Amino acid sequence: MATFKAIRIDKADKGTVARLTQFDEADLMDGDVTVRVEWSALNYKDGLALTGKSPVVRRFPMIPGIDLAGTVEQSSHPHWKAGDKVICNGWGLGETHLGAYAEKARVNGDWLVRVPDSMSVRNAMAIGTAGYTAMLAVLALERHGITPASGPIVVTGAAGGVGSVAISVLSKRGYEVIASTGRMSEADYLQHLGASEVIDRNELTGPAKPLARERWAGGIDSVGSTTLANLVSMTKYRGAVAACGLAGGMDLPTSVAPFILRGVCLLGIDSVMCPIELRRAAWSSLVSDLDSRKLSEITHEIGLDQVFDRGSEILEGRIRGRIVVKVA
């Protein structure tokens, strides 16, 4: 097809404008693999791009969407052939490279990961960047030496995509999980995912003490700012916190005390440019350690035309779990 359905973001007199339109295949960017996109997902970064509330988009016009899964249509890359089922997360999709909210994408074959044999293309996007990032964080804690015997793990932004998957995976791997949320009405949901305790995020939003009472062996944080500062100050001796988000802000008002007096480590989790070996390890672990029934329960499906409204909702913290976007 010469044209295909896509969401396009353009510069406007004031900010940007996003609309669902037809996009010319000839205007796709360079790449050695063309993918027929079947499913995508809605992430916090996608909400920022769609609403223009943060300068996520670096070139115009842009097709947003940082996650895609689908079928290879054409390939000159030695590792991929027509018919292969593939996943692409990050690498500038939806920011500097035309992204996933379109029926076709052309990308660098080195960016792709094969959809695991036992996983559907839809479920790959139900997991998406959020779930893959959560698994990267879990693996980072374990590489640091944090085990279930070390003590509880706190997960912030618990009802969101990263938090929901992190709780489910940690619980499956035998950890005691403390879920922190601003929506205490979601306590039953979080406990069903595997949280043994649910705390109000207000316990972590005040000014952080240099050293507070030790409460957990580690944490997975998607909020940043004072929440992350409080997490670090409450982490036990030689514990670690994996930081992977900034929903609460980019600042980090903390002190060096937890690092030099308790030996706490702050582990940065980057999902965008993450090496391919770590990506494959994360996706492989997700096959065995993410309960498919729980994944189904936390996933909601929408069409391309619905991402505009839901993009605003995800920025307002009103989305529970994961949203998959049916593209094809």
pLDDT tens, N- to C-terminus, the chain (328 residues): 589 999 999 999 888 999 999 999 999 999 999 999 999 999 999 999 999 988 899 999 999 999 999 999 999 999 999 999 999 999 999 999 999 999 999 999 999 999 999 999 999 999 999 999 999 999 999 999 999 999 999 999 999 999 999 999 999 999 999 999 999 999 999 999 999 999 999 999 999 999 999 999 999 999 999 999 999 999 999 999 999 999 899 999 999 999 999 999 999 999 999 999 999 999 999 999 999 999 999 999 999 999 999 999 999 988 888 999 999 8
Q: Is 316 helix (H, G, I), strand (E, B) or coil?
A: coil
| Residue 17 CA from chain centroid, whole number | 24
Of 259, 252, 43, the residue nearest 160 (C-alpha): 43
Q: How far is CA 323 from CA 171, 197, 233, 235, 296, in A?
A: 22, 25, 33, 32, 11
Q: State in Å, rounded, how far the first CA of the chain is from the last one.
A: 13
- Specify the domain boundaries for CATH 3.90.180.10 within the chain: 3-115+296-326
- CA geometry: angle 20, 103, 163, nearest 5 deg: 85
| Residue 158 CA from chain centroid, whole number | 13
- Specify the domain boundaries for CATH 3.40.50.720 within the chain: 129-268
Token pair of 138 as six digits: 């879990």
CATH topology of domain 129-268: Rossmann fold (3.40.50)
Query: Which CATH number does 3-115+296-326 carry?
Result: 3.90.180.10
Q: Is 37 helix (H, G, I), strand (E, B) or coil?
A: strand
Buried b (16+ CB within 10 A) or exposed e, 219-230: bbbbbbbbbbbb
